[in-house]
Amino acid sequence: MTYTKYSASGNDFVIFHSFIKKDYSQEAIKLCNRTEGIGADGLIVLVPHEKYDFEWLFYNSDGSHAAMCGNGTRACAHYAYTNGLASSKMQFLTGAGVIESTVEENIVETQLTKPVILKEEFEQEGFTWYIVDTGVPHLVTIVEDLEKYDHNLASKMRYEHNANVNFAKIQDGKVYVRTYERGVEGETLACGTGMAACFLRANSLGLVGNIAKVYPKSKEELTLTKKDETLYFKGAVKKVFTTSIN
């Protein structure tokens, strides 16, 4: 089998395509292992679909399924385009619904699924939270200092609310984000749907406009745009390498 590793804003993925739609959770655990495998935050498998360009199967590094992954959609779209599986403007099916992506060289923009507010603001553990589904559920809290990020607290909140956990700082109209991700069970360098959730929260509070630059822990710059009720997520992706494993 031939596998390609991609990085999208620090989120890394192993990607391949297959004609066989099945459960690849064990392959995800093996391939995403950082000491005995290729090493990645997730595995993406592209399989044929009769209506759309393709369907993706997404797995976290622990083998669990995820309906959506913003950075994953951008890496996946670039892979599909460069491997002749789709044109530069494509539609593909995810567990969260149909995603539209546009590829222009190494820049990929994804139209995310419509966000759904799951819980309006509430107080817990000394922070004000808000839960929104931007493809998967995300807890968001706005802080003045990103050093307020607390791994143990994030883990506790993640299991209590079954959601990813985001700490966001707004400065000079820009959004800075740190995210604890389900499935990885730790902080990642970037989370696309998490950045989208933080941008949406900041926008709803009037802290940023309908277009804003967003920076995850990797410090790579991304652009989030809100048009009506639709979010668009744009940034660079990098093909790291392709390898064959017997």
Known binding residues for substrate:
11, 60, 70-71, 164, 181-182, 192-193
Query: Which is it for strands 230-236 and 107-111: parallel, antiparallel or unpaired?
Result: antiparallel
28: closest CA among 135, 182, 184?
Answer: 184
Residues in contact with 207: Cβ distance below 8 Å, sequence separation at least 6, in sequence order: 142, 170
**What secondary structure does DSSP assign to 61-87, as a single string?**
TTS-B-S--HHHHHHHHHHHHHTTSS-
Binding-site residues, please? 11, 60, 70-71, 164, 181-182, 192-193
Q: In the chain, count H helices and then E strands.
A: 4, 17
Query: Residues 109-146, buried b or exposed e (16+ Cβ, 10 A)?
Result: bbbbbebeeeeeeeeeeebebbbbbbbbbbbbbbbeee
Among residues 32, 69, 76, 198, the one annotated as catalytic is: 69
127: closest CA among 169, 173, 188, 176?
Answer: 169
Instruction: Confirm whether 198 is a catalytic residue.
Output: no
**What is d(CA 24, CA 10) in angstroms, rounded to the nearest whole number?**
23
Among residues 32, 76, 191, 198, the one annotated as catalytic is: 191
**Hey, which residues are catalytic here?**
69, 191
